[in-house]
Structure 1
Amino acid sequence: MKKIGFLSFGHWTPSPQSQARSAADVLLQSIDLAVAAEELGADGAYFRVHHFARQLASPFPLLAAVGAKTSRIEIGTGVIDMRYENPFYMVEDASSADLIAGGRLQLGISRGSPEQVVDGWRHFGYQPAEGQTDADMGRQHAEVFLELLRGEGFARPNPNPMFPNPHGLLRLEPFSEGLRDRIWWGSGSDATAIWAAKMGMNLQSSTLKDDETGEPFHVQQARQIRAYRAAWKDAGHARAPRVSVSRSIFALVNDRDRAYFGGRQDADHVGMLDETTRAIFGRSYAAEPDVLIEQLRGDEAIAEADTLLLTVPNQLGVAYNAHVIEAILTHIAPALGWR
């Protein structure tokens, strides 16, 4: 059994071919798609976060709006770049969104990925300390964020406050109980997956990771998941962890599907993520349902994960993306024992 949700990158472009031509279009359509996905029986609505791009950026207003419009579906990110974040302000925003959603937030965070501008986090007022890299800074922001989510007091109260204070040191408010256990780390390597396990975070493994062995992507990703679970066990955490993978999967059930995605012969891609990092990008899947079922049956990483996020082509509009999700839930998931 798997939880199945969608992951939207929230692209928009002022083009007649796009159903999402502005930021307002993307935000409003994201809410509508989450509502539709919940009605279809999907388990999660997740959104990518990118800065300096025509994509979804500041996630918490959107997460709060989706939380107010839905009642059951999990609401999350995949992922928030912690190099850009003030952990203190983020705790207030995340807790507020989680309380509005009734404790359904599943917050994916990460050290970040290649971006649209050079050192964009500097424009947000952040700079690595001497001897640190920007990745170190992102992980440090994450550690502060996790500590604050414990909800313990740390700030000395004013002896003459405007309003009465509770006894003792003060914590950030509002506080959402249980949110600490619903933080995920977006990992692109075995080492950072093991670090996430030690920190007590769930694991988000996407369609890209460091090419560490030269094996097919799904094989490397499955090994990463097993290393994560072993590290989690060694750390002695009380609860069971969760693991998600994301995939582009299209069941070709009508002529429109075939026009958009038919005939695609996709495979893993290998390239340089930056000057020193060789990365492997996982394949997409697009086929008639019977063929697709057999292809997915051989994906080792999907088999290892408890949560599958379907990346959706959001610029094709709410109705078509709801169809994409419904096709997987109806034609594929039961045959593979996911539902």
Structure 2
Amino acid sequence: MKSIGFLSFGHWSPSARSATRSAADVLLQSIDLAVAAEELGADGAYFRVHHFARQLASPFPLLAAVGARTRRIEIGTGVIDMRYENPHYMVEDAGSADLISGGRLQLGLSRGSPEQVIDGWRHFGHLPRPGESDADMGRRHTETFLDLLRGEGFAEPNPRPMFPNPLGLLRLEPHSDGLRERIWWGSASDATAVWAAQQGMNLQSSTLKADETGEPFHVQQARQIRAYRAAFEAAGHQRRPRVSVSRSIFAIVNDLDRAYFGGDTSHDQVGVIDNMRAVFGRSYAAEPDRLVDELRRDEAIREADTLLLTVPNQLGVAYNTHVIDAILTHVAPALGWR
């Protein structure tokens, strides 16, 4: 059994060929797609976060809206760039969204990805400390966020407050019990996966990874997952962690699928991203029987308990509902995922 959800990057474009031509389009369609995915029996609705781009950005209004419109499906991010975040304010936003959803938030964090602007986090008022890199700053923000999520009091109350206070030091409100264990870290390297395990976070491993051995992407990713699980156990955490991988997977069941995705998708790609040599995982697009055979050979998918299907959101809600349904109907049962 696997938890299967979708991951939307939330692009919009004024192009006549795009079904999402404005920010309003992509936000409202994201809510509609989450509702449709829940009705199909999918397990998760996840959204990417990018700043200074025509994509989804501040995630919490969207997560709260999805939480209010759905009842069962997990809602999450993949991922929030922590270089941009005020951890204290974020705890309040996350707690509110989690309570609205009834405890279904699965929050993916990261040190971030290549940006649209130079040092965009500076415009949000965040600067690395002396001797810190921007990645160090993102991890520091994360550690503060995780500590605050424990819900322990830390702030001295005003002796003459506007409203009566409970006894002792005050914590941030609203607090949502259990959210601390539903935080994930998006990792591109083995070392940061081990760090995430030591922090007690779940692991999100994406469609790219630092090319550390020259092996195929799915082999390197599977090794990263095993290293993460070993580190999680060694750290003495008392629960079983979750691990997700993201893939572009399309079951070709009609002519429109073939027109969109019928080309050759059978190879990994290697490139340089943020001065890091990275291997980008292949897409999967084929008729269901062939697709099942190809996916069986993906070692990282076998290792993970959660699979996030990246969806082409600019093709609209109806087509993306079809994409998710085709995987749930034609592929997942044959692989034992359902």
What TM-score does the superposition give when structure 1 sets the normalisation length? 0.99
Deviation at 1:265, TM superposition (A): 3.4
1:142 aligns with 2:150: no
In the TM superposition, what is the alpha-carbon distance from 1:98 to its structure 2 partner?
0.2
Q: What is the alpha-carbon distance in structure 2 between the residues aligned to residue 274 and residue 98 of structure 1?
A: 33
Classify the secondary structure of the residue corresponding to 2:197. helix
- Number of equivalenced pairs: 338
SS at match of 1:272: strand
Q: Counterpart of 2:317?
A: 318
- For residue 232 of structure 1, what is the amino acid of its counterpart? F
Q: For the residues of structure 2 that align with 1:220 and 1:118, how far apart are their CA atoms?
A: 30
1:294 matched to 2:293? The reply is yes
**Structure 1: segments with no counterpart, 5+ residues:** none
Task: Tell me the TM-score normalized by structure 2.
Answer: 1.00
Give the aligned partner of residue 240 of structure 2.
240
Letter in 1 for 2:16: P
Query: What SS class does the counterpart of residue 286 from structure 1 fall into?
Result: strand
Q: How far, CA to CA, are the matches of 2:222 and 2:310 in structure 1? A: 19
Question: What fraction of aligned residue pairs are identical, expressed as a percent?
Answer: 82
| Structure 1 match to 2:335 | 336
Structure 1 residue 264, shift from structure 2 partner: 2.5
For 1:241-297, what per-residue CA distance to the aligned partner results, in whole angstroms no more than 9, with x for missing partners? Answer: 00000000000000100010013233101011123x111100000000000000000
**Corresponding residue of 1:69:** 69
1:273 lines up with 2:280 in the alignment: no
Partner of 1:308: 307
| 2:155 maps to 1:155 | yes
Structure 2: distance between partners of 1:330 and 1:236: 39
Instruction: Give the partner amino acid of 1:296.
Output: L
State whether residues 9 and 47 of structure 2, in contact with CA within 8 Å, keep that contact through their aligned partners in structure 1.
Answer: yes
> What corresponds to 1:92 in structure 2?
92
For residues 106-255 of structure 1, the aligned pairs below 5 Å read 106-255=106-255
Mapping of 1:45-56 within 5 angstroms?
A: 45-56=45-56
Provide the C-alpha distance between the structure 2 equivalents of 1:289 and 1:115, rounded to a whole number of angstroms: 36
Aligned CA-pair RMSD: 0.5
Instruction: Please say if residues 266 and 282 of structure 2, whose CA atoms lie closer than 8 Å, have aligned partners that are also in contact.
Output: yes
Q: How big is the shift at 1:109?
A: 0.3
Query: 1:90: how far off?
Result: 0.1
The residue type equivalent to 1:338 in the other structure is W
Q: Deviations over 1:107-128 (max 9, x none)?
A: 0000001111110000000010
Kindly report which structure 2 residues correspond to 1:11-26, keeping only aligned pairs within 5 A, or say none. Answer: 11-26=11-26
How many Å apart are 1:164 and its aligned residue?
A: 0.3
Contact 2:78–2:108 (CA<8 Å) still a contact in 1? yes
Supply the distance in 2 between the matched residues of 1:41 and 1:288 (Cα, whole angstroms): 22
| Counterpart for residue 260 of structure 1 | 260
CA offset digits 1:8-29 (Å, max 9, x no partner): 0000000100000000000000
- Cα distance in 2 between the residues matched to 1:270 and 1:117: 24
SS of residue in 2 equivalent to 1:310: strand
State the SS of the aligned residue for 2:138.
helix
Q: Which residues of structure 2 form unaligned runs of 5+?
A: none
Cα pair 2:33 2:320 within 8 Å, conserved: yes
Distance 2:327 2:274 in 1: 34
Report the Cα offset of residue 52 of structure 1. 0.3
2:108·2:204 contact (CA, 8 Å) conserved in 1? yes
- In 2, the alpha carbon distance for the partners of 1:124 and 1:324 equals 37
C-alpha separation in 2, matches of 1:268 and 1:111: 24
SS in structure 2 at match of 1:212 = coil
- Corresponding letter in the other structure for 2:278: A
In 2: Cα distance, 1:217 partner to 1:203 partner: 17
Letter in 1 for 2:288: P
8 Å CA contact 2:265, 2:282 repeated in 1: no
